[in-house]
Amino acid sequence: MECRRVANYPTGDENPICLTLTDCSEARLEQESSRCLNGKLEDRLIKKTDELIGTNLILQQKIEELSLSRHQVVEKEAMLKAIFNAAIEGIFTIDKSGIIRSANSAVQIIFGYSPDELIGRGINMLIPDSKRKNRIRIYRSKTLR
């Protein structure tokens, strides 16, 4: 606020009349500007909040979908494991370096080793020495393709 003029008028009694003129236009402009800016900020805040709520809902749906998919994968994996273990044929899987990664119980009847004894070991232990070189060459030529 800016004081323009002060005038004292004696009235004859002990309380003189004081007149003060102030220019409030700048303060009003600042208040209006602040209200306008606050309104814009509130609008942006509401808009961003709505966007975040929408994004959150989408993420919750994705989480539910992934949870359902994970459950389905676990069920299918359990079913395949049951089939794998119930097979009467000896089945084992190996990785690219020839390490046995899984084996069913029927391999024990065929090879004399339990699945636990085979897993993590090289396939070479199942191939007779007389045929090992030829089998390794065939295996490598097929896996390198």
Q: Domain of 134: which CATH number?
A: 3.30.450.20
Q: Does residue 81 fall inside a structural domain?
A: yes
Q: Classify the C-alpha dihedral 116-117-120-122 as positive or negative.
A: negative
CB 85 within 8 A of CB 93: no
DSSP 8-state class, residue 9: E
The structural domain count of the chain equals 2
> Residue 121: helix, strand or coil by DSSP?
coil
Q: Does residue 56 fall inside a structural domain?
A: yes
111 and 79 fall within a common domain: no
pLDDT value of residue 117: 95
pLDDT above 50: residue 61: yes
Q: Does residue 40 fall inside a structural domain?
A: no
Mean per-residue pLDDT of the chain? 83
Show the domain range for 132.
Answer: 88-143
pLDDT above 90: residue 51: yes
Q: Does residue 51 fall inside a structural domain?
A: yes
Q: Does residue 13 fall inside a structural domain?
A: no
Q: Does residue 8 fall inside a structural domain?
A: no
pLDDT 10s digits, 80-118: 999 998 999 999 999 988 899 999 999 999 999 999 999
94 and 134 fall within a common domain: yes
pLDDT bucket at 2, cuts 50 / 70 / 90: very low
80 and 95 fall within a common domain: no
Alpha carbon 117 to its chain centroid, in Å, reads: 38
Q: Does residue 103 fall inside a structural domain?
A: yes
